[in-house]
Amino acid sequence: MDDRTVAVHEGRACGKVILFGEHAVVYGEPAIATGIARGAFAQVSPCDAPSTLQIHSALGEPLRGDGSEIESAFHELSDACGVRQNVRASVALDLPVRAGLGSSAALGVSLARAMLSVAGAECTLQRVIDAALVWERVFHSNPSGIDVHAAAHGGVIAFERAKGMEPLGIGYELLLCIGHCGRGSSTKWMVNKVAQFRARQPDLTDQIMHEIGALVRAARVALASGDLPTLGKLMNLNHTLLSSLSVSTDALDRLCGIARAQGALGAKLTGAGGGGCVVALAPAHENEVLGAWEAEGFKGFVTGVAG
Ligand code: PMV
């Protein structure tokens, strides 16, 4: 095949922040997430040589984890997209991995978009989501689907396993501070940890999940009316409930405490916990929060809603 005439098929996906409801969403409760501008950009070209996938992290992080898992996820995604030829695929990833910001879903969605284009298939939102979920299941076995929906759709979304996704147009700028505790974690492991907690204490766990569901419903109302102080309080409450499920860590609690001390209306861990990131809502205090995190050795950034 002549390299100069080979078509390059491209696909983008955003990263995500879960604003409310992680873990409880696995058990059927609603959750709210938002797309963020950092994400993944895939380029795929048909080729004669055996198929390859390379992932380049803009943050210079090595992609840890089982290489064969990535390989088998890529094969399954290729099949799901109906690609019947060899391809050379590369993805530029602009998100920290294993950090609760949806890096794996962003990889899956960007690749699904490019691979559906290679197959000449119609790139509908549903087809992209279905193919990316095939990829995601290799890593997470029982994903609720919120990451893939947020990465594919972007914007602020409500998600519930039984009802799927509902876009929530909020009509104002929502800035979020994201702080990384410096250590990654495994979503699969953390979801299993909660399942074990539930096996030991089913009534207590279900009660916590219902309380998270109730605060997500309240957060939806506060988001719609732009009531940021209430949103902040609900973030703090959500963090407390997640801590009672044992998915927070000292470093995540510390990041939340620093943000609140700098004037954040609220802060919580985001994603699976056990490591990774927190999200803080600190209107007009974003720089103070980032500076205080940095002074304590934590990296952070500010992001708006994107996608
Ligand atoms: O850590 P992340 O970005 O993979 O977020 C996972 C969110 C969970 O609710 C913990 C799991 C899920 O599948 O919804």
Ligand 1 site-directed mutation target among 19, 22, 216, most atoms within 8 Å of CB: 22
Distance 272 CA to ligand 1 centre (A): 5
When the pLDDT of each residue in the chain is averaged and rounded to a whole number, the result is 94
Interstrand relation of 31-46 and 9-20 (parallel, antiparallel or unpaired): antiparallel
- 102 CA: nearest ligand 1 atom: 3
- Better pLDDT: 307 or 136: 136
pLDDT single digits (tens) 278-296: 999 999 999 999 999 999 9
Span from the CA of 188 to the centroid of ligand 1 (angstroms):
8
Span 233-263, pLDDT tens digits: 999 999 999 999 999 999 999 999 999 999 9
90-125 pLDDT tens trace = 999 999 999 999 999 999 999 999 999 999 999 999
Check residue 63 and give its pLDDT: 60
C-alpha atoms less than 13 angstroms from C-alpha of 172 in its C-beta half-sphere: 10
User: What separation in Å is there between the alpha carbon of 44 and the centre of ligand 1?
Assistant: 27
Nearest ligand 1 atom to alpha carbon 144: 13
Is the CB of 191 inside a 6 Å radius of any atom of ligand 1? yes
**Contact 115 CB / ligand 1 (< 6 Å):** no
The Å distance, Cα 145 to ligand 1 centre, comes to 8
Quickly count: other Cβ atoms within 10 Å of residue 137's Cβ: 16
Q: For residue 100, how far is its CA from the centre of ligand 1 (angstroms)?
A: 7
Q: Is 29 in the pocket of ligand 1 (CB under 6 A)?
A: no
Q: How far apart are CA 200 and CA 223, in angstroms?
A: 35
Q: Is 272 in the pocket of ligand 1 (CB under 6 A)?
A: yes
Label the pairing between strands 266-270 and 156-160. unpaired
Helix axes 202-225, 187-200, angle to 10 degrees: 130
Ligand 1 contact via 278 beta carbon (within 6 Å) = no
- Residues catalogued as catalytic: 147
Mean pLDDT of 161-171: 95
Between CA 50 and CA 74 the distance in angstroms is 13
Q: Ligand 1 pocket: which of 16, 32, 147, 189 to mutate (most atoms <8 Å of CB)?
A: 147
Are the CB atoms for 228 and 283 separated by under 8 Å?
yes
d(CA 78, CA 50): 13
Residue 130 Cα distances to 125, 137, 140, 187, angstroms? 9, 11, 15, 20
Residue 65 scores a pLDDT above 50: no
**Ligand 1 within 6 A of 127 CB?**
no
Contacts of 19 (CB under 8 A, 6+ apart): 32, 33, 34, 156, 219, 223, 235, 270, 279
Whether the predicted pLDDT of 218 surpasses 90: yes
The stretch 196-212 carries a mean pLDDT of 98
Q: What is the pTM of this model?
A: 0.95
What are the backbone dihedrals phi and psi of residue 56, each rounded to the nearest 5 degrees, phi first? -110, 125
